[in-house]
Structures are given as C-alpha cells and as structure tokens.
C-alpha cells in the first residue's frame, strides 16, 4: 500500500542469524529429582533398568501352563502370587497359580487367564476360554529396554517426566543451571503498578509480560525496573545487567525516534545490530553482545514486545539455556470472517480459534493496532499471514499458532 518493505529483514533470517551465534551458556549441576522440575537435562538419560523389570501379570486371574490345560477339566490352585510377594516354591504339573496385577509370573507361565473367564469351586478352577500364548503377561523390558535413551539432553522436565524418571530409580539428575536474565523497561512515561499516574504517564506493562514469560521458561530473572530515558542511568543499568546476568532484555527505545540515543550507548558498550523486521507488529528489534551478556532490545509497544519475545527471544533463550528448540505448533483454520492485511510483512494477528461445524475456525480480536494490548488477552492464537498475502476473504484457509505451544 505504498509502504516500502523491501529493506526489511525476514523473520526467518533474523532467527537463523541469531541462533547461529548462540550456544548453551549454562553449566551442568546435579539436582535431586524433585528439585529438577522445570530444569533442562544436561545429558541423555539412559535407562539403568528394564521396565518392567520382570515378567508380570497385566490382570487379576490365574497363571497357567498351556500344556496343563484340557478343555473342561479344572486345574487345582497351587498357591498365590501378589504384587511384591512372588509365588514361592515348586509349581506342580496340572496346577494353576492365583495371580494379581503386577505380580511376577512364576517361571514357566505361558499365559494369565483373567478372573472373569474362569469359574472357581474352592481350589478347583475351570477355564472358560483357551488362552493365547503370552496372553496378559507384561514382558521384561517391553516398555523400556535396559540402556535405552528415555529422555534426550535438552529436555525440560515437566510433571510428565518426573514419574518416568522415578520409575527408573533415578535419584539425582544432571541439569543445567537456570539462565539468568536481566530485564528493564525504558521510558520517562512509565510508572510501576501501585503508584499514581501523572498526566502523560502510563503503567509499565511490558516488564510484567516479559517476567511472566521468563518464569514460565524457568529462567532466573533480575528485574532492574524502569530506567528513564537518561544516558547516565541507562549506561549504569546496561553495565550492571552485563555484569550480573547471561542475557539482558529491554523494552522500548529501539524505534527510529529513540534508537540513536540507545544505539550510541550500545555501540560503545558492545556490538548490537538494530534490525527492521518484516513482521507486523514488532518491526524494530535489536540484538547483539554486551561484553559478557547477550542483548535483546524489544520494541516498546506492548503487543510488538510480546510478538518479538515469542517469535525471536523465546527460541534464543531456549538455545542459551541448553533446551531443545521445537518449532511452535501451527495449524490450518478457516477464516470465519474477512481479515485485513496488506502485502509486505509477515502478520501475527491476534485471533480467537474455535471448533466450527466444518473444523477449526478463527476470528480476529478486532483492532490489530500494536498498542491495543487488550486484544492479546482475548486471543488464544496468532493468525500467521504470509508476507506476500493481501486481504483474506471469509472461508479462506489460514495458519494459526496456538499460544503457549512451546511451553505447555
Ligand atoms: P518506544 O519503543 O520506546 O518508542 O515505545 C513505543 C510505545 O510503546 C510508546 O507508546 C510507549 O509509551 C509504549 N511503551 C514503551 N515501553 C512500554 C512499557 N514498558 N509498557 C507499556 N508501554 C510501553
Ligand atoms: Mg520509549
């Protein structure tokens, strides 16, 4: 629409350019299993055991040897096997063994017949079905073989991995220390929540969004608060963050109006690139190195800050933390209404996806202005519209990216 987008950097190039420079910077440490929740595995976990560790019964019923079974002839019960109390002693020919779920099957068992397929008359058990060899027996190592890699290095431990590791008897785990991330917001107009606003002030919202994302990612956050647009204070904050953290994330001050100011400081302190990204919202973005720490400068507009965090910072932090990068989940949905779009930039519109009569459908949250933050909390996905695409008509297929895909 007359807007020159030729000089803009494609998102995929920016992401690739960043990831190529980054490597894991978090040392390995041993943690007891419960404390390892949320941490990233520093090495593969190979199973020290077979799971299950012995052949055992999948049912409550009777262990039998097929050669003992003759249709209609009952077998005498020779004894019992419980979980944790295996059957002891000889198993005489022509007998069966009462067995409970999880109990080791006695040596020589061919099958377990479930209780419901038998009739008991005291110790005399009649079998109503002819079992298949191996029926209802969970074989040693059928879930996990001894020595098999159960979790690769780079896995972030969630509640789903905890019982798995416990089942293998793993008491301590080699994990990465958390990535330490300093954050601050820049802007004379910003006030922290809990303080009154003067005319022209607004509340600092970005820092709370970024902090929340860092908490979900398992990073340690050093929150340096709000830094006014003042070179001396900014310089002190940059230096402190560089000394104390692995990464610094700031919001604001990287757009054309202010970039020169921040740029001067950052050029002097490190090597920072100021990029104009071919995405909407979130065009200005800065990335580079301070003497020790990596630097990510997000745009001030709250929606732009969130989009650039999700699309660029999150995968970069994952790499620095040693976590395996997984591309965000993308699905196809039907646009339930027309969507405004002009060619030239990759759009991340805020959408509400829902299950329609013909499959997944998506609607816009309304105004896509990058300052309209309320639209983000009404949305449950990004509608990702390709760079060259124009206006979308109702009924067209579009790509949606559910929120939280990487972190659930
Ligand atoms: P800037 O990138 O500093 O030019 O800021 C762009 C817009 O985002 C301005 O309207 C700022 O007031 C607003 N903004 C900047 N930082 C924040 C913040 N931390 N929270 C809310 N709005 C912000
Ligand atoms: Mg500003």
Q: What tens digit of pLDDT does each residue of 360-383 get?
A: 999 999 888 877 778 888 999 999
C-beta neighbour count of 71 within 10 angstroms: 9
How many A from CA of 8 to the centre of ligand 2? 22
Supply the pLDDT for residue 4: 62
What atom of ligand 1 comes closest to residue 304's alpha carbon?
A: 8
Phi, psi dihedral angles at 267 (to 5 degrees): -60, -35
Mean pLDDT of 90-98: 95
Q: Which of 5, 19, 4, 2 is closest to 279 using CA atoms? A: 5
How many A from CA of 190 to the centre of ligand 1? 8
Ligand nearest to the CA of 228: 2
Indicate the average pLDDT of the chain.
94
Kindly tell me if the per-residue pLDDT of 30 is higher than 50: yes
Question: Which helix (H) or strand (E) is 216 found in, with range?
Answer: helix 206-217
Q: How far is CA 95 from CA 58, 59, 70, 138, in A?
A: 20, 19, 12, 21
How many A from CA of 300 to the centre of ligand 2? 6
Residue ranges with CB less than 5 Å from ion ligand 2: 187, 252-253, 300
Kindly tell me if the per-residue pLDDT of 408 is higher than 80: no
CA distance 88 to 345: 73
How many A from CA of 258 to the centre of ligand 2? 7
Contacts of 103 (CB under 8 A, 6+ apart): 56, 57, 81, 82, 83, 84, 85, 86, 87
Residue 197, burial from CB neighbour count under 10 angstroms (0-12, 13-18, 19+): exposed
Contacts of 160 (CB under 8 A, 6+ apart): none
Residue 52 Cβ contacting ligand 1 at under 6 Å:
no
Instruction: Write down the pTM of the prediction.
Output: 0.90
Q: pLDDT by residue (tens digit) across 253-265?
A: 888 777 777 888 8
Q: Which of 36, 318, 324 is closest to 159 using CA atoms? A: 36
Mean pLDDT of 78-90: 95
Q: pLDDT by residue (tens digit) across 35-69?
A: 999 999 999 999 999 999 999 999 999 999 999 99
Q: pLDDT by residue (tens digit) across 332-363?
A: 999 999 999 999 999 999 999 999 998 999 99
Residue 304 Cβ contacting ligand 1 at under 6 Å:
no
Residue 282 Cβ contacting ligand 1 at under 6 Å:
no
pLDDT > 70 fraction of the chain, expressed in percent and rounded:
98
Residue 185 Cβ contacting ligand 1 at under 6 Å:
yes
How many A from CA of 314 to the centre of ligand 2? 23
Which of 201-205, 212-216, 322-326 is predicted with the least confidence, judged by mean pLDDT? Answer: 322-326
Confidence of residue 405 (pLDDT cuts 50, 70, 90): low
Q: Strand, coil or helix: what is 68?
A: helix
Ligand nearest to the CA of 299: 1
What atom of ligand 1 comes closest to residue 189's alpha carbon?
A: 12
Supply the pLDDT for residue 406: 42
Kindly tell me if the per-residue pLDDT of 215 is higher than 80: yes
Question: Which helix (H) or strand (E) is 349 found in, with range?
Answer: strand 346-356
What atom of ligand 1 comes closest to residue 258's alpha carbon?
A: 4
Q: pLDDT by residue (tens digit) across 158-196?
A: 999 999 999 999 999 999 999 999 999 999 999 999 999
């Amino acid at each position: 629409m007359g807007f020159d987008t030729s000089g803009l950097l494609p998102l995929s190039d920016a992401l690739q350019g960043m990831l190529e420079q980054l490597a894991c910077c978090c040392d390995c440490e041993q943690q007891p299993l419960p404390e390892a929740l949320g941490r990233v595995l520093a090495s593969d976990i190979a199973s020290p055991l077979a799971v299950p560790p012995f052949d055992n019964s999948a049912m409550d019923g009777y262990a039998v040897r097929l050669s003992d079974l003759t249709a209609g002839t009952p077998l005498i019960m020779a004894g019992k096997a419980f979980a944790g109390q295996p059957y002891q002693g000889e198993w005489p020919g022509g007998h069966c063994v009462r067995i409970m779920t999880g109990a080791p099957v006695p040596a020589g068992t061919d099958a377990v017949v479930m209780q419901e397929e038998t009739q008991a008359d005291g110790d005399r058990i009649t079998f109503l079905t002819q079992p298949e060899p191996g029926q209802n027996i969970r074989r040693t190592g059928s879930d996990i073989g001894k020595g098999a890699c159960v979790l690769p290095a780079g896995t972030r431990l969630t509640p789903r991995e905890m019982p798995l590791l416990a089942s293998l008897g793993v008491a301590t785990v080699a994990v990465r220390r958390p990535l330490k991330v300093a954050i601050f917001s820049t802007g004379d107009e910003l006030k922290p929540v809990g303080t009154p606003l003067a005319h022209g002030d607004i509340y600092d919202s970005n820092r709370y969004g970024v902090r929340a994302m860092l908490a979900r990612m398992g990073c340690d956050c050093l929150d340096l608060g709000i830094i006014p647009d003042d070179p001396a204070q900014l310089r002190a904050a940059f230096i402190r963050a560089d000394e104390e953290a692995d990464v610094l994330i700031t919001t604001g001050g990287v757009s054309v109006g202010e970039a020169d100011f921040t740029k001067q400081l950052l050029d002097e302190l490190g090597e920072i690139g100021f990029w104009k990204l071919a995405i909407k919202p979130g065009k200005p973005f800065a990335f580079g190195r301070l003497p020790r720490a990596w630097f990510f400068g997000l745009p001030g507009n709250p929606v732009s800050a969130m989009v650039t965090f999700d699309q660029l910072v999150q995968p970069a932090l994952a790499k620095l933390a040693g976590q395996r990068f997984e591309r965000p989940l993308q699905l196809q949905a039907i646009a339930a209404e027309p969507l405004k779009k002009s060619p030239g930039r990759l759009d991340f519109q805020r959408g509400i996806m829902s299950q329609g009569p013909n499959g997944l459908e998506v609607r816009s949250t309304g105004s896509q202005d990058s300052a309209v933050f309320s639209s983000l909390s009404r949305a449950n996905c990004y509608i990702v519209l390709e760079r060259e695409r124009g206006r979308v008509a109702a009924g067209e297929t579009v790509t949606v990216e559910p929120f939280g895909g990487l972190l659930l």
